[in-house]
Structure 1
Amino acid sequence: MTVLIIINDAPYGTEKAYNAMRIANQLGKDNVNVRIFLMADAATCALAGQDTPDGYYNIERMLKLSVAKGAKVKICGSCAAARGIKDAEFVKGAEIGSMPELSEWISKSDKVLTF
């Protein structure tokens, strides 16, 4: 089974990205093919070097775990450009994507979750 998770919210401020990553990592344990597409403010979820206080969740670490479990991660190119981060350092395994790629992922997924 292939599950696509589309995240639209920033990594911190709400818990949408956090809950999306919790689900992604659980699905990765269940041998599900996980794809994650980061749009709008969620483009910043893939930035490398996030430094959160001890005891607080860290989206970068959660994303790295997903990648280690085989998840594919794409960042909306126009969303990243609009936020001035298109050329930033991203988590290893995350790459800039496009609307045609997202459209293809949607059409080839068994389930699509949005956050």
Structure 2
Amino acid sequence: MRIGIIIETKEAEKAWNAFRFANACVERGLYVKVFLMGEAVECDQVNHEQYNVPKEMEKFIEAKGILFACGTCIQSRKLENQTICPISTMNDCVDILEWADKMVTF
């Protein structure tokens, strides 16, 4: 099964749970693509003692999960040189929607 996930928050607990969910899907052998939009493009910079979002993101990437980030959202925050994933477009997000059997948003 193919799972598409859109994450729109950098709120520590929600973003952490979103990536935990993505990792659980990958661990079950599902194909997963995540698209970061809005403030979620800053997830790799979330610093929280209880909810380690960057660690869950790294785990997802190491497990061969595919991660995209909205280029417009990255550019508006001047993060072009700091992102851990490819700068993508809304067309990439639509491609994920067409590819996925199921979509989830956080």
The residue aligned with 1:58 is 52
The correspondence of residues 12-91 of structure 1 with structure 2, limited to 5 A, is: 12=12, 15-47=13-45, 51-53=47-49, 56-88=50-82, 90-91=83-84
2-structure distance, mates of 1:6, 1:74: 10
Residue 21 to residue 95, structure 1, CA distance change in 2 (3 Å): same
The residue matched to 1:37 in structure 2 has which SS? strand
The size of the alignment, in residue pairs, is 106
TM-score, L = length of structure 2: 0.91
Q: Deviations over 1:50-81 (max 9, x none)?
A: 5543xx22111101101111100011000111
| Structure 1 residue ranges, 4+ long, deviating more than 2 angstroms after superposition | 50-53
More helix by share: 2
TM-score, normalising length: structure 1: 0.84
Would the alpha carbon gap of residues 60 and 11 (structure 1) be closer, same or farther in structure 2, given more than 3 Å must change?
farther
Which runs of 5 or more structure 2 residues have no equivalent in the other structure?
A: none
The alignment's C-alpha RMSD in Å is 1.4
